Amino acid sequence: MESKRIHYIDNLRVLACFLVILTHSAMATKDSYGFYAVIVSLVSSPSSELFLTISGALLLPTRTKMKDFYKKRFSRLALPVLFWSIVILILEYCLGINTLSSSIKKLVLIPLSPVTGVYWFIYTICGLYLLAPVISPWIIACTKKEYQFILLLWLFTIILPYISFILPDFYNIDGNYYFILNYFGGFLGYMLLGVYLRKYPIILPKTKAILLITTLVTIAILPILYCYLFQRELIETINNNLSISSVLLVTAIFIFFQNFGSSSVKFNGSINYFAKYTFGIYLIHIIIVRNVVWELYGLIRTEPLNPLVETPLIALFSMGICYLFVKLISKLPQSKNIVGV
């Protein structure tokens, strides 16, 4: 059973990696909130949240001493992130995006803020790593009902902002740092969700599994569909990282892989092999997508394709290039300090 579960989690890692690339592959359009753009955004939206949920499933609870846990986790992240942050700064300076002074400022501030918005996830996961040894004893000791109670509190914080949209004059949660459940909100919930789904997998008869997954996806889509039809200015807020839609989509994806994951040893072996390169792919994908694939595509494109075709093609091509590049780098000495492999 354990082996199967690890296989499906590795499959999820590869999917999450592709969704991250898909998120950043959409080329600019006149209508950023057009129907096709919204579909692409919806499909790719649970990417980073899926990675956080997977991290929780794989790493929590940790029984490693705090010092050893920090040393192992941060040593794997620090040098590769620093290396590619510097590469991005040099590239942006050469392209005239940043001045020398702004580049130096960004370099100095790397410990505090990412040089590119795409790297926000790294800073988020680092903060969660700091919490991992602290909350692990509770995860080990808590009962299933206690765990469900904490997740329900987290879900309540996710749902509350919707009151601001439905009854804007009645209650507005924005800026309320004294909210009673404020400290149960945030990205930690995704990691706790990952632990729960791995510890208590939702394995159902196929018909019931399909029904549950369909229900979760439908409920996730409804708020976004409503905003597209009636309040487009709220789409970005409704479809953000800490929205009920993201939570439901991540849960639906996990349940799908738990119930319908491949049992092929050959397929799982190939996916597991690819999965070990996902961190390196994540680090370089924004360079490959924006500075390589977009440029090449711009040279051969005669007219724009439908975003539902164009964006996945760009993402697949970019992912392939990233994989080959990271695999090549992994052959070098000290490659773990460059791409984490």
- Structurally, the chain folds into a number of domains equal to 1
- How far apart are alpha carbons 258 and 105 in whole angstroms? 46
Report pLDDT for 49.
93
The mean per-residue pLDDT over the stretch 72-89 comes to: 93
Q: What is the pLDDT of residue 197?
A: 95
Nearest in space to 257 (alpha carbons), one of 1, 2, 3, 11 = 11
Domain presence at residue 55: yes
Domain that holds residue 53: 2-144+185-206+264-337
DSSP H or E run through 270: helix 265-275
What pLDDT is attached to residue 195? 95
Model pLDDT for residues 273-282, shown as the tens digit of each residue: 888 899 999 9
CA atoms of 206 and 249, how far apart (whole Å): 18
Residue 301 lies inside a defined structural domain of this protein: yes
Q: Which residue has the higher pLDDT, 180 or 288?
A: 288
The C-alpha angle with vertex 166 and arms to 191 and 237, in degrees rounded to 5, equals 45
Residue 86, in any domain of the structure: yes
Residue 157 lies in a domain: no
Q: Are 191 and 56 in contact (CB under 8 A)?
A: yes
Q: What is the pTM of this model?
A: 0.90
Q: How far apart are CA 302 and CA 241, in angstroms?
A: 35
Q: Which of 34-43, 91-100, 179-188 has the lowest mean pLDDT?
A: 34-43
Q: What percent of the chain has pLDDT over 90?
A: 59
In a domain, 328, yes or no: yes
Q: Provide the 10 A C-beta neighbour count for residue 106.
A: 20
For 217-256, how does the pLDDT look when each residue is reduced to its tens digit (9 = 90+)? Answer: 999 988 888 888 777 777 776 778 888 889 999 999 999 9
Q: Residue 20: what pLDDT?
A: 94
pLDDT number for residue 83: 94
**274 falls within a domain:** yes
Instruction: Tell me, yes or no, whether 180 lies in a domain.
Output: no
Residue 245 CB coordination number (10 Å)? 21
Q: Is residue 172 part of a domain?
A: no
Q: What is the pLDDT of residue 267?
A: 82
